[in-house]
Amino acid sequence: MSSYFTDLAQQYIDGEWRSGTGSWDIIDFNPYDGEKLASITIATVDEVDEAYQAAARAQKQWAATNPYARRAVFEKTLRVIEEREQEITEVIIAELGGTHLKAGFELHLAKEFLREAIHLALRPEGKIIPSPVDGKENRVYRAPVGVVGVISPFNFPFLLSLKSVAPALALGNAVVLKPHQNTPICGGSLVAKILEDAGLPPGLLNVVITDIAEIGDAFIEHPIPKVISFTGSDKVGRHVATVCAANFKRSVLELGGNSALVVLDDADIDYAVDAAVFSRYVHQGQVCMAANRVLVDRSVADEFTEKFVAKVRTLKAGDPSDPQTVIGPVINSSQADALSATVEQAIAEGATALVHGTITDNLVEPSVLTGLPADSALLRQEVFGPVAFLVPFDGEAEAVRLVNDTPYGLSGAVHTGNIERGVNFAKQIDTGMFHVNDGTVHDEPIVPFGGEKNSGLGRLNGETMLDSFTTLKWISVQHGRSRFPF
């Protein structure tokens, strides 16, 4: 594993592993024990330009390559990941503080999305559309957009980089990838190395490890990329969208959430507890779909709360390399400090801490809070960590109002003994995704993934990848002669 952090602590531009030319280094730390994993000299604006230029040069030939040949690269990519699964697991644990459970979850999904990318290479289809003009043939071609810029986050960096990179490449585009500076290996150079070893031609995937303090908006303003795929916070996403719009680029934004898991009066309480605990605390709560809020019908609130708190107390926090650990560290000290402030603010506003987890360095133990005032801003914002808010409600109408009372609309879940009641409830929620009798954290390769409101723009997965990473071109053919009015 250590060789990954040594060998891959570089930029990857035009098929070459090389050092950045910036004046400072990004230091990659293990968030659990603070060990220095890698030191990477950052890429400058010049290197960003070189990466995009390389991508543009390589893309034309790649787009002209038989899609069956493109598909073969992703078949090999899948085999490479399967062969190196143990090493990749170790890197996820070391760089992210991900537990064994989390690493397995991320790798499973990464392989599933690669299987979909294999099929996606053959998915683009053209059309012949009727014309009101005699003798006219309207052909609609679906073509790659050209070059795609991908910005990936720190929470599921390997999966969420591949999730945009593989489909964009499979559809005939080239890509420049900028991983989060806290996960430069998992989210960046490891992805490049795997695709390189799988036979992806040079220049088609470039990785620039850098920071906006060095490059500003150069990555998204650059004239070459036609689409920017960004996964991260809504604050940064708003800025990305603004810059893209000003430069006539398409943006695909997968942003934050403030999901609620709702327990109706006829729910299976034990099952709802299991779903809620997983939905809030998986990967330390650092998941955009995580259930920040757990809304429970007042008639079953006492039973649910007792069982929920009891289960949370069993979650082992500690070293993520220990297979028994459920709660590892959050990604950095800023996140830990923010979570500490959130809990203290809730208590200051009148909330009761049913579980008040301690914080040691980046290890944030689970907390469960109840009694937060209805007008608290904490109930409307994303909390990216292992802190749950329990909120009682009286009847479905109030539950719907509470779930929608947030600027976000990504995911959610409802538990009920009546499936159609659950579906009718879900239809009233302003989200891109909602689940009946399950958790809030789900992603599947062929189901449209994305949010409403501040949770993003556009969708990923399956057929929606065609909308994200290809464009339509109308070519008409006039058989015979047109008549012109003058």
Per DSSP, the residues of 282-319 read GGGG--TT-EEEEEEEGGGHHHHHHHHHHHHTT--BS-
Q: In which residue ranges of the chain is CATH 3.40.605.10 found?
A: 2-255+455-473
The C-alpha atoms of residue 141 and residue 133 are separated, in whole angstroms, by 20
pLDDT in tens, 4-57: 999 999 999 999 999 999 999 999 999 999 999 999 999 999 999 999 999 999
> Under a CB-based contact definition with an 8 Å cutoff, are residues 291 and 439 in contact?
yes
Q: If pLDDT is split at 50, 70 and 90, which confidence band does 352 have?
A: very high
Q: Is the pLDDT of residue 438 over 90?
A: yes
What residues are labeled active site? 254, 288
DSSP for 211-239?
Answer: -HHHHTTHHHH-SS-SEEEEES-HHHHHH
Residues of the chain with CATH 3.40.309.10: 259-436
C-beta separation of 164 from 146 below 8 A: no
Q: Name all contacts of 297-304 with Cβ < 8 Å and 24+ positions apart.
A: 297/263, 297/264, 297/265, 297/267, 297/392, 297/393, 297/394, 297/395, 297/399, 298/392, 298/393, 298/394, 299/265, 300/263, 300/265, 300/267, 300/269, 301/390, 301/392, 303/269, 304/263, 304/269, 304/272, 304/273
C-beta separation of 355 from 313 below 8 A: yes
What is d(CA 323, CA 339) in angstroms, rounded to the nearest whole number? 25
User: In sequence order, what are the residues at sequence separation of 6 or more whose Cβ sits closer than 8 angstroms to the Cβ of residue 306?
Assistant: none
- Which H or E element spans position 32? none
Question: At a CB cut-off of 8 Å and minimum separation 6, what does 333 contact?
Answer: 361, 362
Burial 376-404 (b: 16+ CB within 10 A, else e): eebbebbbbbbbbbbbbbeebeebbebbb
pLDDT tens sequence across 123-172: 999 999 999 999 999 999 999 999 999 999 999 999 999 999 999 999 99
Q: Which two tokens stand for residue 19?
A: 């050092």
Helix (H, G, I), strand (E, B) or coil at 62: helix
Distance CA(141)–CA(135), nearest Å, equals: 19
Task: Report whether pLDDT(87) > 70.
Answer: yes
In the prediction, which pLDDT does 67 show?
97
Mean pLDDT on 70-85: 98
Residue 2 has pLDDT above 80, yes or no: no
pLDDT of 357 strictly over 90: yes
- Whole-number percent of the chain with pLDDT over 70: 100
Q: What is the pLDDT of residue 184?
A: 98
pLDDT value at 354 more than 70: yes
Pick the CATH number of 259-436 from 3.40.190.10, 3.40.50.2000, 3.90.660.10, 3.40.309.10: 3.40.309.10
Q: Which CATH number fits domain 2-255+455-473: 1.10.167.10, 3.30.2320.80, 3.40.50.970, 3.40.605.10?
A: 3.40.605.10
Residue whose C-alpha is closest to residue 267's, from 312, 292, 303, 291:
303
Q: Is the pLDDT of residue 202 over 90?
A: yes
User: Over 70: is that where the pLDDT of 107 sits?
Assistant: yes
Q: For the chain, give the mean pLDDT.
A: 97
Quote the DSSP letter at residue 479.
Answer: S
State the pTM of this model. Answer: 0.97
Tokens describing residue 167: 């489909």
User: Residue range 353-381: average pLDDT?
Assistant: 97
Q: Which two three-digit tokens encode residue 296?
A: 């429970």
Q: Is the predicted pLDDT of residue 1 greater than 80, yes or no? A: no
